[in-house]
Copies of this chain bind each other. A is one copy, B any other.
Amino acid sequence: MGKVPRSGRLVAITKELIDHPHSLISLGRFSEAFDAAKSSISEDIAIIKRAFEDLRLGKIETVAGAGGGVRFIPYLWENEVAEVVRGFCEELASPKRILPGGFVYMTDLLFSPFHMTRAGRVFASKFADVMPDCVLTVETKGIPPAFMTAAAFNVPLAIARRDGQVTEGPIVSINYVSGSTRRLQSMSLARRAIPVGARVLIIDDFMKGGGSAKGLTDLVREFGAETVGIGVLIATAEPREKLVSDFVSLVVLEGVDEEAKRAIVRPSQWVLDGVRDGQSKDGRPRE
């Protein structure tokens, strides 16, 4: 391929960075791919970095030196987090979601690539400081949000199974008590799914009593690994006391208004606080 003009390089480098979040890419690779001087590539990166900062498209980090390069960190600011969470709340409050027995149908939301990409970026932003080595969830509905969080961090996903699978080699199984039904349940995870000493971020779709999350933290401990955070899309307001104390939810489900056939949902307090704090700290509210 011949010389690529700056405009073309800006487009291609932007795409390469977005396609490989959290991956350090050397400037030499771009310089070779585009047959351009490293100084030109450095200028390209500076332009891209400025655009990402000014337009709040996420973070671009440059690392100087021989082993250095550039990487894209998916990051949503407080106002964007609030916008995503408000979008979930609006979706969840739709009357068409109420099922017989007062259950809320949310499978379509959980299995929507559009919504789960956003959820993954919200979790990746909220847990940016803990930088996990892997994300852990339990099948089935937790998988899409957990997978998209893992994608945003560019780390592997581990999925605990409700039944052991013979094709995964040695497994670790634990029993746990469901927080809401008080029934004894079990979950299993392949021995090789989580390395010893790993920093594990637990992501799930829904928390009522917190039994699954508690079970997952027990499982992490069995692997000699460390739970560095717990995130759920939706947590019920009641019971107030969960089996795990330290977790982050995006949405709080207060209950179901049977008459109006609506789920009563609201953004979690930290989401609302973030907007207020974010604006005052930052001094530049985003429309």
Contact = CB atoms under 8 A, between A and B. Distances in A.
Interface of A: 1, 4, 6-8, 10-12, 14-15, 18-20, 47-48, 50-52, 54-55, 57-58, 99-101, 103-105, 107-108, 111-114, 116-117, 139-140, 143-144, 147, 150-151, 154-159, 161, 166-169, 190, 192-193
A173 B274 CA distance: 44
A55 B14 contact: no
A50 B166 CA distance: 50
Given A99-B167, A140-B140, A51 B7 contact: yes
A140 B54 CA distance: 41
Given A57-B15, A107-B168, A161 B143 contact: no
A117 B11 CA distance: 20
A103 B167 contact: yes
Contacts of A143: 140, 143-144, 147
Contacts of A117: 19, 151
Given A54-B1, A107-B193, A112 B156 contact: yes
A154 B113 contact: yes
Contacts of A6: 7
A170 B166 CA distance: 32
Contact of A111 (B4, B47, B159): B159
A142 B281 CA distance: 44
How many of these chains are in the complex? 2
B51 A12 contact: yes
A169 B101 CA distance: 10
Given A57-B15, A154-B114, A50 B108 contact: no
Given A1-B55, A10-B10, A111-B157, 8 more contacts: A1-B54, A7-B7, A18-B18, A18-B19, A99-B168, A99-B169, A113-B155, A114-B154
Contact of A140 (B19, B47, B144, B159): B159
Contacts of A155: 113
Which of A1, A8, A57, A155: most chain B CB closer than 10 A?
A8
A192 B190 CA distance: 33
A6 B7 CA distance: 9
5 closest A-B pairs by beta carbon, nearest first, are: A113-B151, A11-B51, A8-B51, A111-B157, A103-B167
Given A7-B51, A18-B18, A150-B113, A169 B105 contact: yes
A22 B197 CA distance: 41
A114 B105 CA distance: 30
A287 to B, nearest CB: 8
Which of A1, A15, A113, A155: most chain B CB closer than 10 A?
A113
Contacts of A48: 11
A52 to B, nearest CB: 7
